[in-house]
């Protein structure tokens, strides 16, 4: 028997943020904020997904855009607002977030899931890029 496995829409982001938050580096608190926001956004996305599959409205469908914005804000703080403003990650995140919001509005579960793949990858890559920069700068 396999244990019940809950869906996850931000597995990469939650994983890399958790890893960054356990490091003793100077960005630990900001990484912890990314982790908290990622976990909250993921939980909201799971509820939103269930509502989309059921064809109904839910608090999660209404709350998801603000959860995603909070995750972007936390990621921007972690990456650094100057670096985030010019980063390719920011553009990819924004595009995926628009697709997610459209899918929620239209009730399109397939588009929702597909857009989350890109969103998760873009946020996680931004977090990893900071970790890579810190590790390469450490003697």
Could you give all domains of the chain from N- to C-terminal order, each with its CATH number? 11-17+27-137 (1.20.120)
- Cα distances from 69 to residues 4, 20, 93, 101, 125, in angstroms, run 30, 20, 10, 11, 17
pLDDT tens-digit map of 87-121: 888 999 999 999 999 999 999 999 999 999 999 99
Mean pLDDT of the chain: 90
Res. 25 pLDDT band, cuts 50 70 90? confident
Q: Is 41 exposed, middle or buried (0-12, 13-18, 19+ CB in 10 A)?
A: buried
As a whole number, mean pLDDT of residues 42-61 equals 95
- Residue 104 phi/psi, 5-degree rounding, is -65, -45
| pLDDT at site 84 | 87
**Residue 32, CA atoms < 13 Å, CB-side half-sphere:** 8
The length of the chain is 139
């Amino acid at each position: 028997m396999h244990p019940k496995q809950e869906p996850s829409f931000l597995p990469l982001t939650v994983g890399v943020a958790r890893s960054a938050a356990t490091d003793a580096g100077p960005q630990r608190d900001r990484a912890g904020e990314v982790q908290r926001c990622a976990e909250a956004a993921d939980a909201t996305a799971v509820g939103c997904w269930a509502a989309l599959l059921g064809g109904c409205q839910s608090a999660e469908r209404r709350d998801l855009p603000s959860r995603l914005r909070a995750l972007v804000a936390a990621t921007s703080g972690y990456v650094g607002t100057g670096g985030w403003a010019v980063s390719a990650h920011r553009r990819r995140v924004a595009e995926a977030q628009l697709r997610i919001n459209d899918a929620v509005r239209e009730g399109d579960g397939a588009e929702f899931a597909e857009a989350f793949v890109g969103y998760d990858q873009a946020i996680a890559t931004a977090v990893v890029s900071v970790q890579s920069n810190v590790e390469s700068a450490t003697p």
